Amino acid sequence: MEQIFEYIGVYGLVIIGLVLIIIGFIGSIMPALPGPPIALVSIFLIHFALEKFSLWMLAALTLITIGIAIADYYVPILGTKKFGGSEYGVKGSTIGLIVGLLVTFFTSGFGILLMLLGPFIGAFLGEKYAKNSNSVALKSATGSFVGFVAGTFGKIIVVLLILMVYLFKVLPIIF
């Protein structure tokens, strides 16, 4: 393993780590990619290849990453339920998120908007499918959107934290 690290070199490892963090940011917005765990790999790459982190730092970043991954799954569901949504609203929100993501890949411009609005539209349609009133459907959709935004914001904050820790350790090595 050390031979691979020597072959790639310090700058190659730093670039690989930065690419992982960039993918982590993208994954924080796109639900198909686990953003924070991918970014966390950059920390372990540096730890095992270049400069050791304290075990406390590794444990803290790992626990934070696991925590946000779990929270990201439950926050939109809790948002939908907190705002009065049913199981149909939750399922609709998830389907809307997936459809919005797929549309993002096949269009330009509208894709990002639909990815953001997908959970909202999906929750609304799910509640309408369950024969709920427009006001219940709108509340459920709002809760889903608030949950999605909160989860995304949380993931971005965690990846920013990982980036700061990464740069704190890497900048003295390369300069």
Q: What is the mean pLDDT of the chain?
A: 88
What is the spatial distance between Cα 21 and Cα 162, in angstroms, rounded to a whole number? 8
91-123 pLDDT tens trace: 888 888 788 777 776 776 566 677 778 888 998
- At 79, list the tokens: 């948002």
| Contact (CB, 8 A) for 115 and 102 | no
The alpha carbon torsion through 168, 172, 44, 17 (nearest 10 deg) reads 90
Burial of 172 (0-12, 13-18, 19+ CB in 10 A): exposed
Q: What is the mean pLDDT of residues 82-96?
A: 85
Q: How many domains does the chain have?
A: 1
DSSP letter at 101 equals H
Q: Which pTM does this prediction carry? A: 0.83
What is the spatial distance between Cα 79 and Cα 123, in angstroms, rounded to a whole number? 11
| Contact (CB, 8 A) for 50 and 21 | no
Long-range contacts at 14-17 (CB < 8 A, ≥ 24 apart): 14/170, 14/173, 14/174, 16/42, 16/45, 17/42, 17/45, 17/46, 17/166, 17/170
**pLDDT score, position 160:** 98
pLDDT(5) > 70: no
pLDDT(158) > 90: yes
Range of the domain at 85: 2-174
